[in-house]
Amino acid sequence: MDKILVLHGPNLNLLGTREPEIYGRTTLADINGMIAARAKEAGIAADFLQSNHEGVLVDALQDAPKKGYAFVILNAAAFTHYSVAIRDAIAAIATPVIEVHLSNIHQREEFRHHSVISPVVMGQIAGFGADSYMAALEVVIRRLAEAKA
């Protein structure tokens, strides 16, 4: 069975209560539950990791090929905007990574407009709330089906 890793960066554990006017009231458990259900329906196993620590996310990215993940869906949260370590980890692995954001980072403060990881990911989906993750998952489902056709 194909498996994917869903990685959530700092402060995303607070979804539901964190700045709800920006991030909504959906919790991280809700998001993971929706992803798990759709992945299961498509015959894909999904693992989840949230960390507030850059090195933990770097380790998870480095381990993704060894653990046999076909794709990584990554919301690097604030690290998106400045973590060269996370960018380098993505560049170092062959596993395709899809960058997601709940909010439309391009409509927000200037410092959020730039993503240091965008040049090394497959693509970016931003601005659709929890549906950013669901859209990324649909891409994964289609790519995996295409690879088998």
User: How near is the Cβ of 105 to ligand DQA at its closest, in Å?
Assistant: 5
The vertex-15 CA angle with 136 and 52, nearest 5°, equals: 85
User: With CB under 6 A, what is the number of residues at the site for ligand DQA?
Assistant: 10
- The count of other CB atoms within 10 Å of the CB of residue 101 is 23
Q: Which of 48, 112, 120, 139 binds ligand DQA (CB under 6 A)?
A: 112
- The count of other CB atoms within 10 Å of the CB of residue 43 is 11
> Judged by CB under 6 A, does residue 56 bind ligand DQA?
no
> Judged by CB under 6 A, does residue 101 bind ligand DQA?
yes
Residue 113: both structure tokens together: 């407009």
Q: Report yes or no: 7 and 72 within 8 Å, Cβ to Cβ.
A: yes
> Judged by CB under 6 A, does residue 8 bind ligand DQA?
no
Active site residue 23: yes
User: How near is the Cβ of 31 to ligand DQA at its closest, in Å?
Assistant: 10
Q: Which of 50, 80, 83, 124 binds ligand DQA (CB under 6 A)?
A: 80
How far apart CA 55 and CA 96 sit, in angstroms, is 19
Q: Report yes or no: 93 and 61 within 8 Å, Cβ to Cβ.
A: yes
Residue 20: both structure tokens together: 């709800």
> Judged by CB under 6 A, does residue 26 bind ligand DQA?
no
Binding interface with ligand DQA (CB under 6 A) = 11, 75, 77-78, 80, 101-103, 105, 112
List the catalytic residues: 23, 101
